[in-house]
Amino acid sequence: MTNWLASINYITGKVGGIRKLILILMAALLGVTILLDVLVVEKIFDPLGYLYIALGTLAVLYGIYPLYTSRRLVGYYWERASQNRLAVAGLAFILFLILLALIGPFFTTDPTATNFEEKNIPPLGFTIEESVYHPETQQSISKTITGSGKHPLGTDNKGRDLLAMIVSGARISLQVGLLATGIAVALGTLIGVTSAYLGGKIDNILMRFTDIMMTFPFFLLLVFIVFIFGPNLAFIVLVIGLTGWTGTARLVRSETLSLRTREFIMAAKALGASDSRIILAHLVPNVISLIIVIATLSIPGVILAEAGLSFIGLGDPSVTSWGMVLRAGQQNLDTAWWVAVAPGVMLFLTVLAFNFMGDGLRDAFDPRSAV
């Protein structure tokens, strides 16, 4: 009985803390869902669901709970970050995007529903001339099509509603961005901290392995793996996460190197703390601000990677993502320009928003920029 409690204490740090409760609750939730999935025929969660629970636990343990217990510090950082107007604008856009992804699908139609009666309708406020060929008279008649409120962003060449496709794409992009970054950052942090703390041979092996991983051109490796194993959203998330940790590992390692000789680590060691406890309960919490910045600045790359895969036709065919819409738009540039414009604008704004926010956070966390 005391044995498994002790092992949880290693991870959570505080004996009898709320963290332990959170970890136990999340583990129980994961256990129950897996049990239900195995016993009940109908699946509750796809693989992404499990990822959400696992990464959510990490986020609560190392992000939300510490933030909650140190509200004064958070207030201080918020004050500093909020002075950067671009960062605040970025945050506002990201919140809007999350809202769009969460409740948007309830207000839009099915993004995959085709309707050839209503194809190539321009966005609201635009009018185009389209020549329609009549087989009986063998003549082309110029027809005017005006955008209407029914399809505010217009439709594509199969009559699919562009707004619905954009909303669906926001969902995919955010999911991929958050989950894959979560995996990559968690893995990179673990490898970086372990490597720096243990040093010696293990450091050498881990860092040489990181070097080998970094030699692969990230996107081409992604294309290669997805090509071999086939496109599936959960798999793409996993692959981006498992290949994208190298940068994090290096940055976290160099940050940890300066931490590991500090007094509080010495004190923990002197008190008999084990290596895993020092890593998980003392070192990781102290590189959290760096990790938050890295994560924010990694999300754009991940979102673009997924969009790029979809754009070249290696996206999950069962979901509608921005890259896929853009690809369809590119093939019909001369008849329906808006189909290529809309997903690209969203992609651009999303990436810009995360970049602005990451930059603002980095400045806010940087003690050198304090006045």
Binding interface with another protein (CB under 8 A): 208, 211-212, 215-221, 223-225, 227-230, 300, 304, 307-308, 311-314, 326, 329-330, 333-334, 337, 340-341, 343-344, 347-348, 351-352, 355-356, 359
In angstroms, the CA 43 to CA 33 distance is 9
Is the Cβ–Cβ distance between 283 and 256 less than 8 Å? yes
In angstroms, the CA 242 to CA 45 distance is 21
In whole angstroms, the minimum distance from the beta carbon of 350 to another protein comes to 9
Q: Which residue lies nearer to another protein by CB, 13 or 300?
A: 300
Q: What is the DSSP string of 116-178?
A: GGGTTPPPTT-EEEEEEEETTTTEEEEEEEE--TTSTT-B-TT--BHHHHHHHHHHHHHHHHH
In whole angstroms, the minimum distance from the beta carbon of 311 to another protein comes to 5
Is the Cβ–Cβ distance between 291 and 83 less than 8 Å? no
Q: Which residue lies nearer to another protein by CB, 113 or 214?
A: 214
Q: Which residue lies nearer to another protein by CB, 55 or 314?
A: 314
Q: Which residue lies nearer to another protein by CB, 111 or 323?
A: 323
In whole angstroms, the minimum distance from the beta carbon of 297 to another protein comes to 10
Q: Which residue lies nearer to another protein by CB, 287 or 340?
A: 340
How is residue 30 written in tokens?
């994961």
Could you tell me which of 94, 280, 98 has the C-alpha nearest to residue 193? Answer: 280
In whole angstroms, the minimum distance from the beta carbon of 371 to another protein comes to 15
SS3 161: strand
In whole angstroms, the minimum distance from the beta carbon of 340 to another protein comes to 5
